[in-house]
A = this chain, B = another copy of it.
Amino acid sequence: MAHGAGGMASAALFEAVFAPALSNPALDAREDGAVLDLPPGRLVVTTDSFVVRPRRFPGGSLGDLAVHGSLNDLAAMGADPVALTAAFVIEEGLPIAELRLLVGDLAAAAAAAGVPVVAGDTKVVESGAADGLYVTTTGIGVIPAHRPRLCAGAVELGDAVLVSGTIGDHGIAVLLARGDLALEADLMSDTAAVHGLAAVLLDTVPGVRWLRDPTRGGVASALNELAELCGLAIELDESAIPVHPAVAGASELLGLDPLYIANEGKLVAVVAAEYASAALAAWRSHPLGAASAIIGRVIAEPAGMVIGRTGFGGTRVIDLLVGDPLPRIC
């Protein structure tokens, strides 16, 4: 407990675990906050808490998920990342070795994205008062002036809907890693920072209207929100949606729909129809977008809804998720 109290033990924990992993001039100044020099453009800020269970899963961990989650929210706003903050609520008794590994994952993910962690905080709570570790990150980014204004209001009839790869990998990988389903599959979380994928699209293709990283609630929730905000409908070609065979298999067994399963390394875009194939080519040229696809289009009716067109010529309403099949997925 002393490690969270602000005195010598707090300082020792910071110096032993956090400072070596995260060192950068702003953090090393040991002040109450960080002073940042911003590139030109509009400032964007986003925040998320990460409570994923288990803390380590095939393809990633709570540490890198906490970085990717906030970077991807910035990417979906069309912003290049500038800095991150990270606040840790640590349960007393969490092994220091595990904490060090998770902070190492966080540091590696931030370094890979070229984004410094400029400010942070640690609190220690009693054994039983948290489930090991919760991490809250805030992303600070800047939208360069040349980028289009992305918003639901910019979406037009006939626009194309694209996804940057297979859907549901993260949610199913975490679910299987919990081990209480007696299911195994050769599947990794897609956890990754997608700001490069956003930049290649926004900086080389005109006509991009809207971007989103479909995390909790999956592609279906992101598109339902869009449909409601823009007052139009989204029609999906269900057979065009890329799904990893292991995700398809596990979803079928568990009665889940991959459209509702969380991703953490994907983007969904709405692009003017005439630039849809250029957008697809841009994404496919990027290592994280090799499996990207055009999965649907914006239509007029039924306004505010998402419709799936099945392989057999039928249609179904892809509604907002009501219950929650997958808690603590991020």
Does A79 make an interface contact (CB < 8 A)?
yes
Complexed CA–CA distance, A29 and B221 (Å): 16
Q: Are A323 and B36 in contact (CB under 8 A)?
A: no
Q: Are A8 and B79 in contact (CB under 8 A)?
A: no
For the residues of A in contact with B, the DSSP-based class is: mixed
Complexed CA–CA distance, A10 and B9 (Å): 38
Which residues of A in the span 256-300 have a Cβ within 8 Å of any Cβ on B? 260, 262
Q: Are B45 and A324 in contact (CB under 8 A)?
A: no
Q: How many positions in chain A have a CB within 8 Å of any CB in the partner chain?
A: 80
Q: Are B36 and A42 in contact (CB under 8 A)?
A: yes
Complexed CA–CA distance, A175 and B77 (Å): 43
In the complex, what residue of chain B is closest to A31 when comparing beta carbons? B77
Complexed CA–CA distance, A39 and B6 (Å): 32
Does A131 make an interface contact (CB < 8 A)?
yes
Interface string of A298-330 (1 = CB under 8 A from B): 000000000000000000000011111011100
Complexed CA–CA distance, A7 and B327 (Å): 11
- Contact A136/B6 with A32-B212, A35-B77, A143-B35 known, Cβ cut-off 8 Å: no
| Cross-chain pairs A/B with CB under 8 angstroms, 9 sampled | A5-B324, A6-B324, A8-B322, A32-B76, A45-B138, A51-B89, A85-B138, A121-B136, A138-B138
